[in-house]
Amino acid sequence: MQPSLAAPDAIQHVVLSVLPVIVFLCGLCLLDSYRLVRPASVSGSVVIGALVALGAAALVRALVTRTGLTQAVYSRAAGPVLEESLKFCCLAVLVASRRIGFMVDAAIHGFALGAGFAVVENLLYLSAVDAPLAISALRGFGTAVMHGGTAAIAGIVAMRFAEERGPESRTGLAAGFLSAVAMHMGYNTAAAYPAAAALGSAVIVPVAIVSFFRQSERTLRRWLGVGLDTDAELLEMIRDGKMYDSRIGAYLSSLKDRFPAEVVADMFCLLRVRIELSIRAKGVLLMQRSGFVPPRDPELPEKFRELDHLTKAIGSAGMLAMLPLLSWRRRDLWEMNMLAARRER
């Protein structure tokens, strides 16, 4: 028989089980002083996390039915691996595609995925179990925050490796996933003492994420300063015709024996357009950090059309030859994605 609660009691249970994780997610977004993640993107990650939770619930029912796993075994072993795998797959796509560029936005997207997952999981739990109000509070401050925290930490760890070794780093993705599984298993093991587990989750997760936030914002400030100076210097060299005197120019000149002169000229143009877009992206970040809303740039669509045209003209072999010049700009593709999103506004 399904449990039945009076409306006021049901509202209290729902509020206690889902409000803490939503409030913490809003707090993370407020900490994002550079406004790296748009509210629509955060909402999208929450929705994806909710859909993942529904899929996980169906998989759990099938797994338990076919294998006869007990709740204790599932909770301590199979559950953390299955649930974190599903959440991390969504996060890994964002990291690998460079749609996130810093640990800050990795943490926000990760926590948003976990928050959506936790909300659905807790609502399903409340619909199936006639639990006392204290259990709803423990699930809200403990289990829900844990789900958000594991995904956020996984994103932070994966992004940390991506910054050093590139977004395709399997080591980074594996380290992020294993971090999430270990945290989840640790929480479920400690759940024998639910009050202590919930308190630990409500305290440790915020402290850890906020400390990573501060570190990432320091990194971002350094990158903005150094990167903007470097971009401006390179752009000036290109416009003054001095690029051929630099190491970059020397490398491009060395390609004349392998590619037609017009293709090499397009390579110079491509590098110029990428640098111009990079400078604009950093300018947007600085304006957002200062509390200004950057105006729409009417030249962006034309710049992106030029970028697409040059990429096609250079061809796959030429773009492969340019990798040494583009790979050192680790956040270029993230900047392009950010500006492309602004182009549609």
Residues 253-296: tens digit of each pLDDT:
767 767 888 888 888 888 888 888 877 777 777 777 667 777 77
Is there a contact between 113 and 45 (Cβ–Cβ < 8 Å)?
A: yes
Q: What is the CA radius of gyration of the chain?
A: 24
Q: Give the residue with greater pLDDT, 54 vs 7.
A: 54
Supply 179's token pair. 């971090």
More confident residue, 36 or 74: 74
Q: Is the sign of the CA dihedral 286, 157, 169, 82 positive or negative?
A: negative
Q: How confident is the model at residue 117 (pLDDT cuts 50, 70, 90)?
A: very high
58: Cα within 13 Å, side-chain hemisphere: 6
User: Where residue 45 falls among pLDDT bands split at 50, 70, 90?
Assistant: very high
Question: 146-160, 216-230, 276-290: which has the minimum mean pLDDT?
Answer: 216-230
Alpha helix positions (H), 143-260: 145-165, 170-190, 194-239, 247-254
DSSP 80-137: HHHHHHHHHHHHHHHHHTT---SHHHHHHHHHHHHHHHHHHHHHHHHHH----HHHHH
Phi, psi of 192 (to 5 degrees): -60, -20
DSSP-derived letter for residue 4 is: -
Is 240's pLDDT higher than 60?
A: yes
Mean pLDDT of 233-251: 66
Q: Is it the case that residue 307 has pLDDT exceeding 60?
A: yes
- What pLDDT is stored for residue 6 in this prediction? 54
The CA distance from 146 to 152, in Å, is 10
- Integer Cα distance of 10 and 18 in angstroms: 12
**Residue 81 confidence (pLDDT):** 94
What is the predicted pLDDT for the residue at 85?
95
- The domain segmentation of the chain, as residue ranges, is 7-218, 241-343
Contacts of 179 (CB under 8 A, 6+ apart): 150, 153, 154, 157
- Give the pLDDT confidence score for residue 86 in this predicted structure: 95
Quick one: residue 31, left, alpha or beta (phi over 0 = left, psi -120 to 50 = alpha)? alpha
pTM: 0.69
pLDDT greater than 80 at residue 305: yes
Q: How sure is the predictor about 1, in pLDDT bands with cuts at 50, 70 and 90?
A: very low
